[in-house]
Amino acid sequence: MSVLSWASDCTPGRKERQAVMDEAGRIVASGLTKRFGAVTAVDDLSFAAGPGMVTGFLGPNGAGKTTTLRMLLGLVAPDAGTATIHGRRYAALPEPSRVVGAVLEASGFHPARSGRDHLRVYCTACGYPLRRADQVLEIVGLAGAGHRKVRGYSLGMRQRLALATALLGDPPVLMLDEPANGLDPEGIAWLRDLLRGHAVSGHTVLFSSHALPEVEQLADQVVIIYRGRLAGQGTLAELAGDSAAVSVRTPHTDQLIIALAAAGACSERTGPESVRVTGMPAAEISRIARLQNIDLHELGTDRSRLEQIFLRLTSRPAGQEPAAERTRSDQA
């Protein structure tokens, strides 16, 4: 315990954390720590998610994502640190359901209650008109199933019902724990449009996932957590740093390779019209191509590299594990 608190005192970034000023639509975790018995689930975690973008909260299973989200939502009391939304603790928000909509993994429903009745319970608790229940059922595509008991819902339908509950107050901030679980590809596409639309209209979206492709598809920026600690934060391209590869599609592959080589980048042809570039950010590639009058048809982060970024950020050389985890594995 003492080793841990010493370690967290020495963690850099405390001043940065202080500098992160809370403002509308911002979700801010600052030094969050939660222990369950001898296990430290979340360890001095600080990050922020802002409005206008979708933030993915990425980490392997058991990394502490759910505990973190529950601390942000006031369901789990942190042992140290603060969690604020809109500059306030969740419990201190005057009308929290009008500010934050949350979908929690494994959140449940009474099996014998209909989806519509479930929503009406929360309409009553939050002071919304009962017709709002039918509106959100419509939004999530459950209008036809609202009268059925939740017992008969599929996993995907339950996810939609949980999302409907989150949308009751039409909140600017959405927090979702593994929202794509149980959704079929059509459902995931629908979810993507919904979250994207929410962010584009200037709202905040934070969602957790253990699946990298999901985060790639949905997120503008990523917070990566590993064993309860922050492993990285930024856009995927930022996190990739210099090692990132950029894939370019152009009819003039030879010209581009020569031009980029002159600027110091390393390029290789990966297809008749595609080139993979390393050592140069996409913006610079675009600038050089424009100067050389080279048409670019596609410019994007090389997807195959993202897996490596994730693995690099979440792997830790042996012997550098925190004391608590060594104890845990010793006991195991």
Partner 1 sequence: MMPLVGAEFRKLFTTRLWLWMLLVSAAWAAGYCALAIAFDTGKSGLMPPLSGAAGQHALFAIGPGGAGPLAAVLAAIGVTGELRHRTAAMTFLATPRRGRVFGAKLVTYLLAGGGLALASILVSLMVVLPGLTAKGIPISLAENGNLTVLAAVIASAGIFGIAGAGLGALAGGQLATVAGMLMYLYVAEPLISHITGLHEWTAYLPGVAADGLTQATQPGVPLLTPWLAGVVFACWAAAFAAAGTLRTVRRDITL
Least CB distance to partner 1 at residue 250 (A): 50
Give the per-residue SS3 of 108-136: CCCCCCEHHHHHHHHHHHHCCCCHHHHHH
Beta carbon of residue 37, minimum distance to partner 1 (angstroms, whole number) = 12
CA–CA dist 102, 167 (Å, integer): 8
Minimum distance from CB of 90 to partner 1 (Å)?
6
Residues 30-89, interacting with partner 1 (CB under 8 A):
67, 70, 73-77
CB closer to partner 1, 57 vs 90: 90
Q: How many residues bind partner 1 (CB under 8 A)?
A: 34
Secondary structure (DSSP) of 247-306? EEE-S-HHHHHHHHHHTT-EEEE-SSSEEEEESS-HHHHHHHHHHTT---SEEEE-HHHH
Smallest distance from the beta carbon of 81 to partner 1, in angstroms?
A: 15
Q: How far is the CB of 20 from partner 1 (least distance, A)?
A: 23
Interface of this chain with partner 1, residues 158 to 187, rule: CB under 8 A: 165
Region binding partner 1 by CB under 8 A among candidate stretches 92-100, 233-241, 280-288, 291-299:
92-100
- Residue 310: partners with Cβ closer than 8 Å, 6 or more residues away: 58, 212, 224
Between 121 and 211, name the residue whose CB sits nearer to partner 1: 121
The interface with partner 1 within residues 108-167 (CB under 8 A) comprises 108-114, 117-118, 120-122, 124-127, 165
By beta-carbon proximity to partner 1, the closer residue of 54 and 73 is 73
Contact 27, 57 (CB under 8 A): no
Please give the span between the terminal C-alpha atoms of the chain, in angstroms, as a whole number.
19
Q: 265 to each of 247, 254, 260, 270, how far by Cα in Å?
A: 13, 14, 5, 16
Smallest separation (angstroms) from partner 1 to the CB of 91: 4
**At CA 91, angle to CA 90 and CA 97, rounded to 5?**
65
The site for partner 1 (CB under 8 A) is made up of: 67, 70, 73-77, 90-91, 93, 96-97, 100, 102, 104, 106-114, 117-118, 120-122, 124-127, 165
